[in-house]
Amino acid sequence: MDVDTKFEVPVIEFRSLDLERGTDEWHHLCKRVREACETYGCFEVVYEKISTELRNKMFGLMKDLVELPLERKQKNVSSIPYHGYIGPGSLFSLLYEGFGLVDASNRDSIKNFTQLMWPDDHAQFCDTLWIKGEMGVSDETLVRLIKYMAPPTRDYERGLHAHTDKSISTIIFDNQVSGLEIEVKDSQWIKLSIYPSSFVFVVGDTLKAWSNERLKVVNHRVIMNGYKNRLSIATFAIPIEGTIIKTPKELIDEQHPQLYKDFDCNVPPIRDRCRSQAGDITKLILALKQFS
Ligand SMILES: O=C(O)CCC(=O)C(=O)O
Ligand SMILES: [Fe+2]
């Protein structure tokens, strides 16, 4: 397996999401985000507002979740493919187990999920996950809670196949057990190891199309080794119902002819492939309409 360890993705600090639009600091941040998305299709976001205690609490609760009986976990169903429970071996890999929380920016959805999993109440789960509201997540979201088992052989084993996300964008954070890799060149992969207070921001296919391919998508996968389970939380940005993805005219010129027709993500089957979430970080990306 060809893994390049010298390569590093940009690390961008989001000290405050309340940055005033139009200030020098704001322009500087936008530029760094844009360049990272144009060059790498992803970057590391340092964002300390979500405390280590809160992260640890979330991962502690995820451990309770994966230990529930299988029949209970299988109650996490969705009419949309890949949006419910996916057990080991069923779709992705023997190591992968994931839960889907559709419309996770809506407190009632989290409450419904919690009640399904813990009919006797597990208010702490609901309250903890809801604090994600702190991240400024305000639109439609799909959150996937994922566990990758440590490979029984202790050898390198695939946790998730190579793919790009269909979303607008995805934000991933983990329990500091690495495994996420990105493809930097054909078949050259690097393993990301991110700061405890960081997130990985990944450009999705929808954002790439919107940007007339000025922004890149990055192929990524999960490869596990060692003896620790990896837990990750991936939050996907989904265009709100009825949103037409339309490339802004500022991104179309002679060198960059329009590559995509306007499209509605919510028209099946596109909808089923594009569901995701939008938070402040995505809004910042959308501010990139100011490309010069
Ligand atoms: O769990 C991870 O680290 C990556 C998850 C991912 O890429 C996905 O669910 O699309
Ligand atoms: Fe992904």
Q: Nearest C-alpha to atom 1 of ligand 1 is from which residue?
A: 232
The pick from 95, 144, 166, 230 for probing ligand 1's pocket by mutation, whose C-beta has the most ligand atoms within 8 angstroms, reads 144
pLDDT tens string 191-221: 998 888 899 999 999 999 999 999 999 999 9
> Tens digit of pLDDT for each residue in 50-78?
888 888 999 999 999 999 999 999 999 98
Indicate whether 269 pLDDT > 90. Answer: no
**Distance from residue 255's CA to the centre of ligand 2 (Å):** 30
Question: Would you say residue 140 has pLDDT above 80?
Answer: no
Cα 243 to middle of ligand 2, angstroms: 22
Q: Is the C-beta atom of 209 inside 6 A of ligand 1?
A: no
Atom of ligand 1 nearest to the CA of 174: 3
Q: Is 286 exposed, middle or buried (0-12, 13-18, 19+ CB in 10 A)?
A: middle
Q: Distance from the CA of 234 to the center of ligand 2, in angstroms?
A: 8
The response to whether residue 192 sits with its C-beta less than 6 Å from ligand 1 reads: no
pLDDT at 266 over 60: yes
Checking if the pLDDT of 148 tops 70, the result is yes
DSSP secondary structure letters along 84-134: S-B-TTTSS-TTEEEEEEETTTSHHHHHHHHHHH-TT--HHHHHHHHGGGG
Task: Provide the ipTM.
Answer: 0.99
Query: What pLDDT shows up at residue 268?
Result: 53
Set out the domains of the chain in order of their start, with CATH numbers.
50-237 (2.60.120.330), 248-291 (no CATH)
How large is the greatest C-alpha to C-alpha distance in the chain, in angstroms? 62
pTM to 2 decimal places? 0.87
